[in-house]
Structure 1
Amino acid sequence: MCHSFCLPPAKEEREPAMAAAGTISRVCLENFMCHSSLQIELGSHVNFITGQNGSGKSAILTALCVAFGCRAKNTQRAASLKDFIKTGCSYAAVIVDINNHGEDAFKPELYGSLIILERRINESSSSTVLKDQHGNMT
């Protein structure tokens, strides 16, 4: 099945830990490579991704590269972005929550304490949007 399972956490759950501005606090994948729906909450310090061969660890790292603008060919995993869409699905999405507080925060008056980066891919195009801590497009 190919529908959205990755719902944003409730507002009270979106308050990031006191990690440095620019650090990733959550990664959500929808229909991306082998992942139908995956949500990972990251801690404010060292994080490890473990699993058996073929379980999708590299897909998570590839998704981060794609979210931040890497071309498909540069990932050495696909010829075009549409190749990242899970077989049988019409789109893929990568959503990355980025902490945004402290002296290095980026436009905190606009985004608040969290920036949500969302990259959506379909058969014919892709789009990237930034959202504020409440999930509103800025």
Structure 2
Amino acid sequence: MYVGFHVNLSQNIALRFLDVRLYRIEHGYNQPQHTIWTKAMDELHSILSTIRSRQLEHIQFHAWVGYDAVRHDSESEQPSVVLKELDLRDLHGVMSRPNFDTLKHVGVKMYRLRYPYTFVDAAGLREMLELMVRGILQPWSASGILNVTCY
């Protein structure tokens, strides 16, 4: 099943595959990085918390990410520091529900938003995005079912 955002999956108790398109994850004017990622986590939580199927085997997320969602201009903007500022308890609690016990694969495909006249270390960006996603989706990363790809 393909979904965008603001979806309620509670009536679909036979769901086996979920394909989710997320909002753009990018820096707003004068926003700290944890605010950018909190919005993405809230979106994930709002979708995942409605899942009632105990047959779900595969989830695929697609996200378009601005280069500034993982800046590294200062120590306070490193992914490990930003992850510590996020309150991941509710999201991780939802991800640990029995509804997700049958999951075999969770994929995250991240597509970089391109901005004119922006020069970014693509390899460094991919590495930082992967660290952020693995931290946010830590229960699934720890179980070895998470695959993160950055384009």
Same fold (TM over 0.5): no
TM-score (norm 1): 0.31
Q: Which has the higher strand share?
A: 1
Q: Which has the higher helix share?
A: 2
TM-score (norm 2): 0.29
